Structure 1
Amino acid sequence: MNLPYPIILASQSPRRRELLALTLLPFETMSVNTPETLNPTLSPEENVLAIAHEKADAVATILAHTKRQAIVLTADTMVAQGRHIFGKPSGFDEAFSMLQHLQGKTHQVHTGFTLRTPTINHSEYVTTHVTLNAMSSEAIAHYLHQQQPYDKAGSYGIQDPLMACHISSINGCYYNVVGLPLSRVWLALQAIIAQQ
């Protein structure tokens, strides 16, 4: 794939870096601090898109000052059941409560991403449905003590040891649940190249 500009992944997530590396495309990372505030009037899907846009805007401002051109990739992932959003927990108690609510049920994982060049602004979201087995309080506590997933939406990482034992089914993109829907990002990159 011949890219018209270098890729900048605007993310602090090590998981997103690992996922984008699977494309074998060269990229660099940039950290941007944005509020990532949820808008209660928006759906989870609209919220992930809004936050991805917000991150892309922040990077665009930085690049404008340096006169650099790039393909900027930003993303945001949320766990939800309907309109109820499960964000990153503040600690053990909140994480425990989230997993108690999610266990034995199906929930949605939404990732919104933006790919932005000097002339193109592409955004979309991808949804994956995940069903967790019923988990005892002891199983939840054991997972939380072992993995401490307090930096993860919904208080779990699908790729984590122990959590893999509790995933009953996945309907949709696995990589989306980890944090970046690679196949959709790849297709969007191809479309961007075709338009240059």
Structure 2
Amino acid sequence: MPDTLILASASPRRRHLLEQARLRFAVEPAQVEEHEDPASDPRETVLHNARIKAAEVSARLPDALVLGSDTVVALDDEVLHKPADMDEARAMLRRLSGRTHTVFTSVCLLGPGIDECHAVTSAVTFKPLDEAAIGRYFSLVNPLDKAGAYGIQEGKEMIIAGLEGSLNNVMGLPTEFLLALLDRLHLLDTLRLT
């Protein structure tokens, strides 16, 4: 039975969330091309991307327990990926302004005898934002490495009016769900730091 979880991602946010969850893990980023068609079903997109990440690392480390994950922001069933530039980031926040969108994050665990892939959702409601508010937010947060051009972990009081569901899910990894899944698989005690 693996005693270390392998995170198939270089995401500092996911690493931080696993540390907070007190799990024993190592990082082995997947070398894959993610699916990023904005017209694709958001749930299927995150499930697909998490599975290909986990599968690529699992093929290299067949005895390991590998965690793949992916997060997308969806507004009216359109996926908002990481913006290409600041103009696109501003356009995304204008679209999210005053509205509720869904954040989908997938959890895919692959290992010996284990194949579990799930998508978790949270609903995030934005405050109405004018250009000045968007500019103030971008002076605090770099939107270019974040799906939907925002991160909920910093400056949320400037842009977020409400949240339904897991905050960690919006940050990039629903650790509550992951811990429950590991417990159901009888792996939590082995992977938990003492």
Q: TM-score by structure 2 length?
A: 0.91
Residue in structure 1 matched with residue 70 of structure 2 by the alignment: 76
Aligned length: 188
Measure, in 1, the Cα distance between the counterparts of 2:148 and 2:121: 15
Letter in 1 for 2:88: E
Partner Cα distance (2:184, 2:158) in 1:
38
Deviations 1:105-164 (A, max 9, x none): 000000011011111100100000000000111110221233122100000001113x33
Runs of 4+ displaced beyond 3 Å: 39-42
Cα deviation per residue 1:63-118 (whole Å; 9 max; x = unaligned)?
14xxxx22111100000013211000011000000000001000000001101111
Corresponding residue of 2:130:
136
Q: Could you tell me how far apart the structure 2 residues matched to 1:40 and 1:57 are?
A: 23
Please name the residue that 1:35 is paired with: 33
Q: Is the 8 A contact 1:4 1:193 kept in 2?
A: no
SS of equivalent residue, structure 1 residue 189:
helix
CA distance in 2, matches of 1:125, 1:164: 26
- Select 1:99's aligned residue among 93, 96, 105: 93
The answer to whether structure 1 residue 171 and structure 2 residue 164 are counterparts is yes
- Which among 18, 26, 29 is matched to residue 20 of structure 1? 18
Identify which range, 183-192 or 103-112, moves more after superposition: 183-192
How far apart are residue 41 of structure 1 and its match? 6.7
- SS of the residue corresponding to residue 193 of structure 1 reads coil
Paired residues of 1:10 and 1:55 also in contact (CA < 8 A): yes
Mapped partners of 1:111, 1:30: distance in 2:
19
Structure 1 gaps, min length 5: none
Q: Is the 8 A contact 1:173 1:181 kept in 2?
A: yes
